[in-house]
Each structure stands twice: as structure tokens, then as C-alpha cells.
Amino acid sequence: MTWSPYYTGDGIPRDVQLAPPPPWRTFPRRPMAKEFQPPAGLVESVNAALHLRRPLLVTGPAGSGKSTVVEQVASELKLGSVLRWHITSRSTLNDALYRYDALGRIHAQRLGQAGGVDDIAPFMQLGPLGTALLPAQQPRALLIDEVDKSDLDLPSDLLDVLERGEYEIPELARYQDDTVCVRQWGGEEYHAIERGRVRCTQFPFIVMTSNGERDFPAAFLRRCIRYTMPPPTAPLLRQMIMAHLQIDSEEHGTVRDLVEEFVARLDGGDSLAIDQLLNAVHVMSGIAAPGDNRRQNVVDLIMRELSRA
């Protein structure tokens, strides 16, 4: 059962048992590596990026599976958990390399919490990019999500670090101890950093995603392998539905109609995301799907055009 009127609007308290959520909305979140269906040309682009040790810049609309690429590669190649850096207009390169709580350290010194010993390590943590560039036997996988949301200077700021594969932490370079163990991003592991300098031994596998909302400098683009997600076709959508929900849309008339409607709206210029279609299929294919008098209202609600509020 996927649809039930839990809320009726009558204000009467009642006990309810929610139906299981869609597979992609279970928590803790689980990787969707096995369900992802790479479109034509993506496998070659990923392998080119791996061979050349270059970032992969994937461009496409929201919900097209751009960020899932790195999950599938990390799973297949056993690169460990994916490091994630979600870009906003306030993101800076330093934040991605390391975080330093200078005020917390000053406060601790004043309170004498360290027993008179000035220890910088508790107030420092590597960022996702900084962790990805640590020396390792295997490359780490890093997602730089929605890079086109960044400040105009950030892509250029990235160039030097991505070319050299190293960076300096000035606070550690000036610190009294030559070696400091700093906590890595996304866990409780620590890494010993010598004289404030981090040099990678295996360039990380980096996927940068873009919604195509801005242009990037040529110097940035030439250092990337670029791939543009193709417009979704009915066969590709049917494969995705089978992978995510184990539903054969050819044998399920309602699902087939949803796929045809989705493709027709895309061809007509509507802005829609693939996860909207998956949501609609999950609801409309359930045992207790909305009846005919409510079906279209629910479908319109879920697959509402994205370029309008």
C-alpha cells in the first residue's frame, strides 16, 4: 500500500500506521548505485576521467542522476564512502580544504581547559576536498555538487589545488609541533599532517555537477572531462522504473501512461525531474492508489512543472 488518506482535515486525533516509503526515501539514506542506469557515453567519460586523473564535470537538469554517478563508481571500484561538498554562493575553497575554530581555541586557552598545553588539533578538521587529497593507497571519491551555484571566483580558485594535488594549512605550518593529527571529514579517523602540508599520492575521483545555469572559464573546462546528460527517453525511463521499483511499465497500463505523459511534457518544453516520475509511479502503482476522481489531481501535484512556483 502506498497511498492512504492519513490526514482528513477533520481535526480528530487518530492512530495511523504509515506505509513503507519509496526506496529512495528510506533513512539512513542508502546508495543507489545498483539502481542507476548510466546513459550512453557516460561510461566512457568516467573511464577517461579515471585514466587521465581529471575531474568529471556532469551537466544536466535536476533529478537526472548526476550525483548518483559518483556513488556507482565508488561502489564498483571499492573507493570507500563518497565525500560530499555541496556548493552554495557562500562556499569557499578554504572551507572545502579545512575548518579551523580559532575562537574556540582562544576560549579554551582562556579557560585553561588544556591544562596549560596549547593543542590546536581539537579545533581543526579537514574538509571534504582536503580529505580527498590525503595520501592514500586508493583514490577517494568526491562529489562537488552544483558547482554552478558557486561564487564566480571559486572555479578558478580550484584550478591550482586540482592541478598540483596539494595544499598548505598555514595555521599548522606556523605551529610549534611539526606533526599534528587532524580529524578527517565525515568520520572519526585522523591523519598526521607534517608541517602543515598535504600532498596526495592518488588523485581523487572527482565528479562535479552542474545544472547548466552558468558558463565556466575555459581554463577550468580544459582541465575537466565533460559530459552532458541526454534528455530522458521512454526506454531509459522504463529501465529506471524497473531498477528502482521492479515494475514493468509495458505490463502496467497506468505506469505506461505516466511515462508517455512525462516524455510528452518534456518534449513540449516543461521542466520536470526524473524523480518526480518515480514518485508518481510509486503512488499510482500501489494497491491503494487514488481512485479515478482523484488520480489526475495527485499526478498533477507530484509532477508539477519546476520552472514555476
Q: Write the single-letter amino acid at 146.
A: E
Region 234-263 average pLDDT:
88
Say which residues have a Cβ less than 8 Å from residue 296's Cβ, sequence separation at least 6: none
Whole-model pTM: value is 0.87
- DSSP codes joined into one string, 137-177: SSPPEEEEE-GGGS-TTHHHHHHHHHHH-EEE-HHHHTSSS
Of 14-18, 125-129, 182-186, 287-291, where does mean pLDDT reach its minimum?
Answer: 287-291
Strands in the chain per DSSP E: 56-59, 83-86, 98-100, 124-126, 141-145, 166-168, 179-183, 190-194, 197-199, 205-210, 225-228
Write the pLDDT tens digit of every residue in 59-82: 998 778 898 999 999 999 999 999
* 28 cis-preceded (ω within 30 degrees of 0): yes
Query: By the 8 A CB rule, do 274 and 24 touch?
Result: no
Region 219-246 average pLDDT:
91
Question: Could you tell me which residues are beta bridge partners of residue 226?
Answer: 57
Q: Write the single-letter amino acid at 218.
A: A
Distance CA 226, CA 228 (A): 7
Write the pLDDT tens digit of every residue in 177-200: 999 999 999 889 999 999 999 999
User: Exposed/middle/buried for 12, CB within 10 Å: 0-12, 13-18, 19+?
Assistant: exposed
Does 101 score more than 60 pLDDT?
Answer: yes
Does 123 score more than 80 pLDDT?
Answer: yes
pLDDT value, residue 1: 45
Distance CA 109, CA 104 (A): 9
Nearest-5° Cα angle at 293, 288 to 294: 60
